[in-house]
Amino acid sequence: MSGNLLRLRPIVHATPTATGLHVRGWRSSFSLDGGKGLWTIWERLAGPLAEGVPPAQLAVPENAPPAVARALELLIGQLHEHDMLVEVPAHWGGHAPPEDIANWLAAVAPSPVEAWQRLRSAAVAVTGDGALAAHARRALVAAGVEVSSVRPGAGLLLTADTHAVAAGCAADVGFAVAPGAVADVTADAAAVARRLAGAAGAPPEVLAALVASAAAHRLVCALGGLPDPSTEVVDMWSDVPPTGPPHQAVLVARVDPLHAEYHPWLSEVRPREPGGPVLDLLGDRELGPVPAPLPGALPQLPVKLAASGDVVGFGATEHASRLDALLRAARALAPDGVALGADRVHALGLALRTAVRPLGGTPVAEDEWAADPTARRWWKAVTLRFALPAEVEVTRLGPRVVRAVVRADGEELSWAVEAEPADAVAFAAMAAAGRAQAGVAGTVVLCGAAPFAEPDGAAAPWTNRDWHWPYGLRDGEEAFQEDLRALAGDVEPVPLGPVLEAAGLVAFAVSEAGR
């Protein structure tokens, strides 16, 4: 573009460090080491860039000393790499945006001119109740967007061409869903309102203003081709955006105390590809379809426990127990007769283990597992710590397939199927101990197919299996599943619907070999 200037984005700031400088932008930052002279070079570079320079002039002077030339080259390269420079017109002409809008666009827009043209050409229809509609209109006008009409209606709906944003506000909580088509955003808004179950009554003025302004902000960003506000990185200790495919993000605001933040939303009408942390998606404290799994007041020794509503999960670590609780709670949302797992390997492992469970085999002698420290630890937890009159039956079903069943007073407490006797006994005993510790009924099943998080120090050279069991078992899970298939045949996947599948959960039909 002719007549353009290359400008430092207004949101970019720098601070000197003991050995150089640190530069922060909207979405990323960088640090350079090289001595205190770097700060002097930065000040001389940043001054002209704050006002804007012709792109051809942003180059290393030919007569610059070698050290200065290297520093300038590195600085300029880092500014480009971290998107801290933007092209803006030297003169906007007769349709210039107000100064505050021009600075905002220069701070966040990939192309401020393009973004302003889109905003100027848009006309937004506002449909909503009094306070929400009024505050949304005010925010849109302040951003330079024309409001074509304001009509009464329930909640808040902002529409312009193919873009729409819906929001709602109860007496204690409000929300704004992700931009999209009218039918999608209204369906999501209705579902979010049901999930939040806000208190009846008119919202406080401050809450209505916050929600309406946030909805207007999301629509303005969609109209201008700007990133949605939910994608901003707010963790000051990390410049890395969240991993995994993006999911619908809903702004949730509350008044006691007044705060607002984005939460992942598993939409039935706008499903995304599976990915992202299962715990964060399914158990989100505001919008998760199952209650957030937390240790709460549950005892944590010897088994880690977590509760998702009335459901208790078990594990060797807090992460494992929270994941187990979340999956047990999610089973209420899944079809009957399926093995539900955190991913394909987990679900398939559970289904195949269930399939081989009733098979006959040969008894395994106690000395094949009793010398293993992990198996012995969990068996002692059952018989000594909880003083259960328990017995464990260990059976070899195939060359590398072993079943362990724990019973007490004729009642089956737990079972496990693993490749090694020690692992089968350890899982079955841990499950039986956790059952006693939590005071719950029913048979508890745990297995090595679950995705166990790597514990601190697992890679240290002095650690072994006893330090971090069951982490590492899953490395051999796929080979073990081939052994299970040889005994049970294959199992079929079962569709779970858009919500659970978007969270990454997988299910297989449960059948038992020989039945």
What would the pLDDT profile of 468-507 be if each residue is shown by its tens digit?
A: 789 888 989 999 999 999 998 889 999 998 889 888 899 9
Ranking 81-95, 411-425, 468-482 by mean pLDDT, the lowest is 81-95
> For residue 498, how far is the Cα from the chain centroid?
17
Q: Are 177 and 146 in contact (CB under 8 A)?
A: no
Mean pLDDT, rounded, for 116-134? 92
The answer, yes or no, to whether residue 257 has pLDDT greater than 50, is yes
The answer, yes or no, to whether residue 2 has pLDDT greater than 70, is no
Tell me the C-alpha distance between 273 and 502, whole Å: 6
Tell me the C-alpha distance between 188 and 314, whole Å: 33
One-letter amino acid at 34 equals: G
pLDDT range class, residue 94, cuts 50, 70, 90: low
Please report which helix (H) or strand (E) contains residue 21, including its range.
strand 20-24
How is the chain split into domains, by residue range?
4-89, 122-273, 274-515
Mean pLDDT, rounded, for 122-133? 92
To the nearest 10°, report the CA torsion of 219, 221, 222, 227: -140
Q: Are 109 and 224 in contact (CB under 8 A)?
A: yes
Ranking 121-130, 241-250, 266-275, 403-412 by mean pLDDT, the lowest is 241-250
Q: Which residues neighbour 493 within 8 Å (Cβ) at sequence distance 6 or greater?
A: 506, 507, 508, 509
Q: Bigger pLDDT: 238 or 120?
A: 120
* pLDDT (0 to 100) of residue 248: 85
Q: Bigger pLDDT: 1 or 184?
A: 184
* pLDDT (0 to 100) of residue 198: 86
Tell me the C-alpha distance between 446 and 175, whole Å: 38
pLDDT range class, residue 375, cuts 50, 70, 90: very high
* pLDDT (0 to 100) of residue 463: 62
Whole-prediction pTM value?
0.82
User: Is there a cis peptide before residue 389, judged by omega within 30 degrees of 0?
Assistant: no
The answer, yes or no, to whether residue 350 has pLDDT greater than 60, is yes
Mean pLDDT, rounded, for 344-360? 94
Mean pLDDT, rounded, for 284-296? 92
* pLDDT (0 to 100) of residue 340: 94
Q: Are 175 and 155 in contact (CB under 8 A)?
A: no
Ranking 176-190, 227-241, 268-282, 310-324 by mean pLDDT, the lowest is 227-241
Position of tokens 């010398």?
Answer: 371
The answer, yes or no, to whether residue 108 has pLDDT greater than 80, is yes
The answer, yes or no, to whether residue 238 has pLDDT greater than 60, is no
The answer, yes or no, to whether residue 273 has pLDDT greater than 60, is yes
pLDDT range class, residue 317, cuts 50, 70, 90: very high
Q: Are 415 and 357 in contact (CB under 8 A)?
A: yes
The answer, yes or no, to whether residue 235 has pLDDT greater than 60, is no
Mean pLDDT rounded to a whole number for the chain = 89
The answer, yes or no, to whether residue 466 has pLDDT greater than 90, is no
* pLDDT (0 to 100) of residue 503: 87
What are the φ and ψ backbone dihedral angles of 310, each rounded to 5 degrees? -90, 0
The answer, yes or no, to whether residue 326 has pLDDT greater than 90, is yes
Chain segment 142-155, per-residue pLDDT in tens? 998 999 999 998 89
* pLDDT (0 to 100) of residue 465: 67
Mean pLDDT, rounded, for 381-402? 94
Q: Decide which of 3.40.50.300, 3.40.50.12280, 1.10.10.10, 3.90.930.70 is the CATH code for 4-89.
A: 3.90.930.70
Helix 477-488 vs helix 344-356: crossing angle, to nearest 10: 40
User: 10 Å Cβ neighbour count for 468?
Assistant: 19
Tell me the C-alpha distance between 291 and 312, whole Å: 11
Q: Bridge-partner residues for 494, per DSSP?
A: 507
Q: Are 252 and 261 in contact (CB under 8 A)?
A: yes
pLDDT range class, residue 190, cuts 50, 70, 90: very high
Mean pLDDT, rounded, for 56-83? 86
* pLDDT (0 to 100) of residue 378: 96
The answer, yes or no, to whether residue 302 has pLDDT greater than 90, is yes
Q: What are the C-alpha distances in Å from 3 to residues 9, 100, 292, 501? A: 18, 21, 55, 51
Helix 205-224 vs helix 130-142: crossing angle, to nearest 10: 40
The answer, yes or no, to whether residue 239 has pLDDT greater than 50, is no
Q: Bridge-partner residues for 509, per DSSP?
A: 338
Q: Are 235 and 242 in contact (CB under 8 A)?
A: no
* pLDDT (0 to 100) of residue 484: 94
* pLDDT (0 to 100) of residue 341: 94
Mean pLDDT, rounded, for 346-350? 95
pLDDT over 70 for what percent of the chain?
A: 93
Q: Which residues neighbour 373 within 8 Å (Cβ) at sequence distance 6 or greater?
A: 466
Sign of the alpha-carbon dihedral angle for 203, 204, 205, 211: negative
The answer, yes or no, to whether residue 72 has pLDDT greater than 50, is yes
Ranking 16-30, 85-99, 283-297, 480-494 by mean pLDDT, the lowest is 85-99
pLDDT range class, residue 65, cuts 50, 70, 90: confident
